[in-house]
Structure 1
Amino acid sequence: MKTHVLFLAAVMALTAVQASAATVADADGNGSYSMEEMAAAYPDMGEEAFADIDTDESGEISPEELAAAVESGALAQ
């Protein structure tokens, strides 16, 4: 029973992250999010916050970086 509860909790957490990440539109379809795309979903996001989330310093936010930011609380859901 404990295993089932832990599994369900993990599924719910992943679903919440995916749902939150889905609020950011990848307008150009390149598989990552530009500052402009992020600002459309998070209007208060500044360049410093964007840079903090862009951990690989690519100039774009990958889906993994977005999920990590939501999971860590750096971005509100």
Structure 2
Amino acid sequence: MRIASRITTAAIALTLATSVLAEEIDSSVDIDGDGFYSYAELSAVYPDLTEESFAEFDISAEGLLDAQEVSEMKKAGAFPMKEG
């Protein structure tokens, strides 16, 4: 019983964390709605974004940035911010 309870708790925490991260993804930028940003999606909105900078923060190396990776990019000051 105890193991099942821990697994259930972990599953709930993971579900909640995923929901929170998904809320940070801007659907107007995430054109395909997959919950991630591709380089093409981000560079269409932020033309100053370089492929090198994108790849540096693509920790998972899958060619996509999730909300946490974008957050880290912003914290590092490497995310080109929109003016206005």
Report the TM range for the smaller structure's normalisation: 0.5 to 0.7
In the other structure, the counterpart of 1:65 is 69
Would the alpha carbon gap of residues 48 and 70 (structure 1) be closer, same or farther in structure 2, given more than 3 Å must change? Answer: same
Q: Distance in 2 between matches of 1:53 and 1:61?
A: 8
Q: Distance in 2 between matches of 1:56 and 1:38?
A: 17
Deviating more after overlay: 36-45 vs 25-34: 36-45
Quick check: which one's strand share is greater?
Answer: 2
For normalisation by structure 2, the TM-score amounts to: 0.59
How big is each residue's C-alpha offset from its partner over 1:2-26, in whole Å with a ceiling of 9 and x where there is no partner?
xxxxxxxxxxxxxxxx6xx649710
Q: Which amino acid aligns with 1:26?
A: D
Unaligned runs of 5+ in 2: 1-23
RMSD: 2.1
Q: Which amino acid aligns with 2:75?
A: E
- Whether the 8 Å contact between 2:73 and 2:79 is mirrored in structure 1 is yes
For normalisation by structure 1, the TM-score amounts to: 0.63
Unaligned runs of 5+ in 1: 1-17
Q: Distance in 2 between matches of 1:23 and 1:40?
A: 14
In the other structure, the counterpart of 1:26 is 30
Would the alpha carbon gap of residues 76 and 22 (structure 1) be closer, same or farther in structure 2, given more than 3 Å must change? Answer: same
Q: Distance in 2 between matches of 1:69 and 1:49?
A: 9
How big is each residue's C-alpha offset from its partner over 1:22-64, in whole Å with a ceiling of 9 and x where there is no partner?
4971000000001111101210222111101211111101111
Larger Rg belongs to: 2
- Whether the 8 Å contact between 2:36 and 2:67 is mirrored in structure 1 is yes
Aligned residues: 58
